[in-house]
Amino acid sequence: MAILDVLKEVVLTCGELVISLRGGNLEAVNKDEQLGQHFSTAADRESLKKGLLILNQAIPGEVIIAEEKVNNDKIPPDCTVFDPLDGTTNFFNRLDDFGVTACTLRDAQPIYSATYFPVRKMLILAERGKGCWISTPDHFIPMPVKIHWHGMMDKTQIGMDVGSWTHKQRVFDSVLRPLSQRFNMLSSMAAVEGGRRVLLGQTGAYYNLGIARIWDAAAMALAIQEAGGIVCDPHGSPLQWKTIGCDWVFAVNQEIADVILQYTRQWSGGSS
């Protein structure tokens, strides 16, 4: 089976599993910081088990770096990164903005990716150099996608995520406050949702600083690039897929990216 087909099977299977567990005992377990804002549910853990089973059977010997499992901080150049439930906070609070995402890296670059939003039944696939495709209940066969944006800078919204870490990582004063004086800001609380909104041109940009991990970013970064968008680190350089921690700026075009980068370049933090 081709790798992209494997990733598609993983996110679809795990996404439907997550939905099936939505009404039960969520069994929230706190992780290590953020005043209880960083936690997992039974759906995260069961989705991880199912996803690892599929990946290990379909791609024997593949190194899997995933949320909810023990990982080395250094990322090998060839591996698959997997988030069994991105947007756990949204899922727990009965919001619909969550998904399952997986991306295969080769030579330290995202090559194949799949992300599934189970409530919307929206599947996003991407392959480096070949494009990005979206399927929905209205368009079951994946359709090629390019980013379309209304082009009005003063009317756009900028996506980000905000919580206690925003203050801990000094993101609020250096980035969020000045940007919010210029743009309407929209917090997604799920990296895949923040990326999806950029991909669809619903927001002009989405940045994430000081909290996210490689499995949050890789799949949507590839999709946005293949759809003609901008993906970079907070200083405007290409993202380096070598460590667990990951900070980024996604944008519909370079003009908006440059505006966001004016502020993110002032930030001195970093994911760890």
Q: pLDDT (tens digit, 9 = 90+) per residue, 206-239? A: 999 888 999 999 999 999 999 999 999 999 999 9
**Do 192 and 168 fall into the same domain?**
yes
pLDDT for residue 202 is more than 80: yes
With contact defined as beta carbons under 8 Å apart, do 171 and 209 qualify? yes
Residue of 243, 234, 237 whose CA lies nearest to 208: 234
How many domains would you assign to the chain?
2
- Dist. CA 202–CA 198, nearest whole Å: 6
Q: Give the least confident one: 23-27, 75-79, 123-127, 211-215.
A: 23-27
**Do 8 and 113 fall into the same domain?**
yes
Domain that holds residue 51: 3-144
**Do 89 and 192 fall into the same domain?**
no
CATH number of 223's domain:
3.40.190.80
Report pLDDT for 72. Answer: 74
Q: Give the least confident one: 11-25, 107-121, 164-178.
A: 164-178
Q: How many CB atoms lie within 10 A of CB 204?
A: 27
pLDDT for residue 247 is more than 90: yes
Angle between helices 42-58 and 3-20 (to 10 degrees): 160
What's the 3-state SS for 65-107?
EECCCCCCCECCCCEEEEEEEECHHHHHCCCCCCEEEEEEEEC
Query: pLDDT tens digits for 116-138?
Result: 999 999 999 999 999 999 999 88
The residue length of the chain stands at: 272
In a domain, 88, yes or no: yes
In a domain, 272, yes or no: no
With contact defined as beta carbons under 8 Å apart, do 120 and 111 qualify? no
pLDDT for residue 271 is more than 60: no
Residue of 139, 209, 138 whose CA lies nearest to 169: 209
Q: How many CB atoms lie within 10 A of CB 54?
A: 18
With contact defined as beta carbons under 8 Å apart, do 247 and 233 qualify? yes
pLDDT for residue 28 is more than 70: yes
The model carries a pTM of 0.93
Of 80, 112, 144, which one is at a domain's C-terminal end? 144
Place of tokens 């979206």: 134
Q: Give the least confident one: 1-15, 36-50, 100-114, 236-250.
A: 36-50
**Do 257 and 127 fall into the same domain?**
no
Q: How many CB atoms lie within 10 A of CB 87?
A: 26
Please tell me whether residue 269 adopts helix, strand or coil conformation. coil
Of 124, 144, 164, which one is at a domain's C-terminal end? 144
Q: Cβ contacts of residue 189 below 8 Å, gap of 6+? A: 87, 89, 90, 95, 97, 161, 163
**Do 170 and 227 fall into the same domain?**
yes
Report pLDDT for 177. Answer: 87
In a domain, 49, yes or no: yes
In a domain, 269, yes or no: no
Burial of 234 (0-12, 13-18, 19+ CB in 10 A): buried
Of 100, 120, 144, which one is at a domain's C-terminal end? 144
**Do 203 and 140 fall into the same domain?**
no
Q: Cβ contacts of residue 268 below 8 Å, gap of 6+? A: 170, 174
CATH number of 15's domain:
3.30.540.10
In a domain, 18, yes or no: yes
pLDDT for residue 36 is more than 80: no
- Dist. CA 55–CA 220, nearest whole Å: 19
**Do 128 and 33 fall into the same domain?**
yes
**Do 88 and 163 fall into the same domain?**
no
**Do 71 and 115 fall into the same domain?**
yes
**Do 108 and 17 fall into the same domain?**
yes
**Do 13 and 86 fall into the same domain?**
yes
Q: Give the least confident one: 115-124, 137-146, 161-170.
A: 161-170
Residue of 168, 232, 243 whose CA lies nearest to 206: 232
**Do 18 and 132 fall into the same domain?**
yes
